[in-house]
């Protein structure tokens, strides 16, 4: 959520930022509501002032033994008018709050201006895509041929965009999750959390998933509960309505959870394989930082995601998302895109974002400065570290061999009882 004072004092700047973010929200709507709110408050104050004067007259008249009936009736009429104005003011404030909840974060000055993914800027590349003396296969062909990925039974059990992992595939997913968590906790300094994977409406609102993205969520029938789309949601809200001490920052949390996404608006995209499933496993990173340090923390988090890919020897590139391609809550985002030989292109495997104080305002998360003074909103950051399914895809495709097997990265072999290769049974 943006600062109300910023919206009121710098409407032109915000309006330009909304255009750059391709948002449908318009500052004119906010200004009309704000003007109406101010007008109603002014009217109410004027009537309250008039009523106070009448109250003084009533008191004076009663002290003299006079009849204050007419003045009392006038006072009651004014009280009714104030009540009506207060009710209307409440409605306008609610509409203004709803508008503010649907406005995206403002892009940082370092974010490239652009319309879509074609305007994203490449930052760096690591690793060399493998060269094959055969036509590389896509992961679903490899996985099904090796008996590990079963999309037909996933569809039978639930529906499209679900899969069943058998044997080596289930074991490899578990190995990846454990490897990610070990790296994050032992080497990167994150505290491991096991949060609920069902959260309430307030929690979803705190990270910006509601109200704007309700269609992307799975809601429990007859409950105001939702399945989480990512562990970012519960991890960020761990400190909702709390004030932390400056000395405690930064804080770093990681969690492995299932993630559930309806993939609204993705009809026809990645209909085969594991790239875009309704349910998948991911290890998430969340950091709480001082405002003056948050963009440094973004670089730290990006480095942590890169370390995972390097350890797995997976070629990747880093891009900075442009204003038209960034997520709703982000002020700046790096995407890490891993090379997939089967598709012959880089595909997103991690997004690392600085949300500045946008989520902290929604969730009411503050810190108390060391030198005293009024508590301030801190900055929140989040990143994938990493999604298990997409990493499995990258390992299979980059390590594939002509006979249909694939080589396991050395870093994973201790988690697979020393196994070096997955091949036909």
Q: Which of 276, 317, 361, 413 is catalytic?
A: 276
Per DSSP, the three-state class of 304 is helix
The answer to whether 316 touches 309, Cβ cutoff 8 Å, is yes
Per the residue annotation, which of 351, 353, 362, 397 is the catalytic one?
A: 351
Looking at 284, 297, 390, 397, which residue is catalytic?
A: 390
Nearest in space to 273 (alpha carbons), one of 384, 362, 136, 162: 162
Of the residues 21, 37, 137, 261, which is catalytic? 261
Catalytic residue among 348, 361, 376, 405: 348
* 59 contact partners, CB below 8 Å, separation of at least 6: none
351 catalytic residue (yes or no) = yes
Q: Kindly report the backbone phi and psi dihedral angles of residue 58, in degrees, each rounded to the nearest multiple of 5, phi listed first.
A: -65, -45
Packing angle, helices 27-63 and 11-20, rounded to 10: 150
390 in active site: yes
**Rounded to a whole number, what is the distance in angstroms from the first to the last CA of the chain?**
54
Cα separation of 281 and 117, whole Å? 25
85 burial type by CB count under 10 A (0-12 exposed, 13-18 middle, 19+ buried): buried
What DSSP line would sit under 217-244, residue for residue?
Answer: SEE-TTSSEEE-SSTHHHHHGGGTTEEE
Do residues 403 and 423 lie in contact, with contact meaning Cβ atoms separated by under 8 Å? Answer: yes
Q: Which tokens belong to 322?
A: 């442009």
The question of whether 63 is a catalytic residue gets the answer: no
258 three-state secondary structure: strand
| H-assigned helices in 146-182 | 151-157, 168-182
Closest to 219 measured CA to CA, from 232, 230, 208, 228: 228
Q: Order across the sheet with 242-245: list the strands.
A: 242-245, 365-368, 376-377
Annotation marks residue 348 as catalytic:
yes
Cα–Cα separations (whole angstroms), residue 240 to 180, 215, 365: 26, 24, 5
The three-state secondary structure class of 286 is: strand
**What residues act catalytically?**
261, 276, 348, 351, 390
């Amino acid at each position: 959520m943006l600062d109300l004072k910023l919206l009121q004092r710098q409407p032109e700047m915000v309006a330009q930022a909304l255009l750059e973010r391709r948002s449908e929200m318009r500052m004119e709507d906010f200004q009309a509501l704000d003007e109406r709110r101010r007008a109603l408050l002014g009217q109410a104050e004027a009537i309250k002032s008039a009523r106070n004067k009448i109250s003084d007259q009533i008191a004076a008249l009663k002290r003299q033994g006079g009849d204050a009936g007419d003045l009392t009736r006038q006072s009651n009429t004014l009280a009714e008018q104030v009540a009506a104005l207060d009710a209307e003011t409440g409605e306008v404030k609610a509409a203004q709050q709803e508008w503010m909840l649907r406005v995206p974060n403002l892009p940082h000055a370092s974010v490239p201006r652009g319309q879509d993914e074609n305007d994203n800027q490449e930052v760096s590349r690591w690793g060399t895509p493998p060269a094959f003396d055969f036509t590389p296969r896509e992961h679903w062909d490899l996985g099904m041929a090796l008996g590990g990925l079963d999309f037909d039974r996933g569809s039978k059990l639930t529906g499209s965009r679900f899969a069943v992992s058998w044997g080596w595939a289930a074991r490899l997913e578990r190995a990846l999750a454990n490897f990610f968590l070990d790296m994050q906790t032992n080497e990167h300094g994150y505290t491991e959390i096991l949060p609920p994977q069902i959260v309430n409406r307030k929690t979803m609102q705190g990270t910006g998933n509601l109200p704007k993205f309700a269609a992307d969520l799975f809601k429990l029938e007859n409950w105001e509960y939702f399945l989480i789309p990512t562990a970012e949601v519960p991890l960020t809200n761990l400190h909702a309505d709390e004030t932390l001490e400056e000395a405690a920052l930064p804080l770093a949390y990681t969690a492995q959870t299932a993630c559930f996404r309806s993939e609204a608006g993705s009809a026809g995209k990645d209909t085969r394989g594991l790239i875009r499933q309704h349910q998948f496993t991911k290890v998430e990173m969340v950091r709480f930082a001082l405002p003056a340090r948050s963009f440094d923390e973004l670089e730290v988090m990006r480095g942590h995601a890169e370390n995972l890919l390097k350890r797995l020897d997976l070629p990747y590139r880093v891009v900075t998302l442009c204003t038209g391609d960034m997520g709703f809550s982000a002020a700046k985002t790096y995407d890490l895109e891993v090379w997939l030989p089967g598709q012959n292109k880089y595909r997103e495997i991690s997004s690392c974002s600085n949300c500045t104080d946008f989520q902290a305002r929604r969730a009411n998360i503050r810190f108390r400065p060391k030198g005293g003074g009024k508590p301030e909103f801190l900055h929140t950051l989040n990143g994938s570290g990493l999604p298990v399914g997409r990493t499995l895809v990258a390992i299979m495709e980059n390590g594939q061999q002509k006979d249909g097997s694939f080589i396991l990265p050395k870093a994973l072999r201790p988690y697979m009882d020393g196994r070096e290769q997955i091949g036909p049974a």
